Amino acid sequence: MRKLLITITVLLLSNASGKAEEKLVVDMSRMTCRELARLDFQDFAGVTMWLSGYYNASVHNTVVDLYQFAQAAKTVKDFCQTSPQSTVMSAAERALGIKMPRSR
């Protein structure tokens, strides 16, 4: 039993260290829809969560509606399929009818 636990722990740690090396660093003001479309589900979810948080913080909204979030992420993804050269932030503005905050 102890050997099994050690084996599982080693496998999990080796997988975790491999994942840590695959880090994604993105300048969101420059990320294009084409790049967004290439992301796996986990990275796509992370990017869209960041985008939602960035926008909602600017309008002082602290409520998270997961259904509404999922619909907004799908709307942006669908828009991006028709405009791969657009930045993700401009795609979100056009697809969702919002104004994203700009860095100062």
- Residue 66, in any domain of the structure: yes
- Residue 64, in any domain of the structure: yes
**Mean pLDDT calculated for residue range 96-102:** 94
**What does the pLDDT read at residue 23?**
76
Range list of H helices, 1-104 = 2-21, 33-37, 41-58, 66-82, 88-96
Nearest-10 Cα torsion for 41, 46, 52, 55 = -140
Does pLDDT of 62 surpass 50?
yes
Tell me the whole-structure pTM to 2 decimals.
0.75
pLDDT in tens, 9-45: 555 555 544 454 567 798 999 999 999 999 999 999 9
- Please return the burial class of 32, using the count of CB atoms within 10 Å of its CB with bins 0-12, 13-18 and 19+: middle
CA–CA gap between residue 13 and residue 35 (Å, rounded): 29
**What does the pLDDT read at residue 84?**
97
- Residue 11, in any domain of the structure: no
Tally of domains within the chain: 1
CATH number of the domain that residue 99 is part of: 1.10.890.30
**Mean pLDDT calculated for residue range 70-93:** 97
Domain of 65? 25-104
- Token pair for residue 46? 């992370």
- Residue 55, in any domain of the structure: yes
**Distance linking the first and last C-alpha atoms of the chain:** 57
- Residue 79, in any domain of the structure: yes
- Residue 16, in any domain of the structure: no
CA–CA gap between residue 19 and residue 77 (Å, rounded): 25
**What does the pLDDT read at residue 55?**
96
Query: What amino acid occupies position 31?
Result: M
- Residue 89, in any domain of the structure: yes
- Residue 85, in any domain of the structure: yes
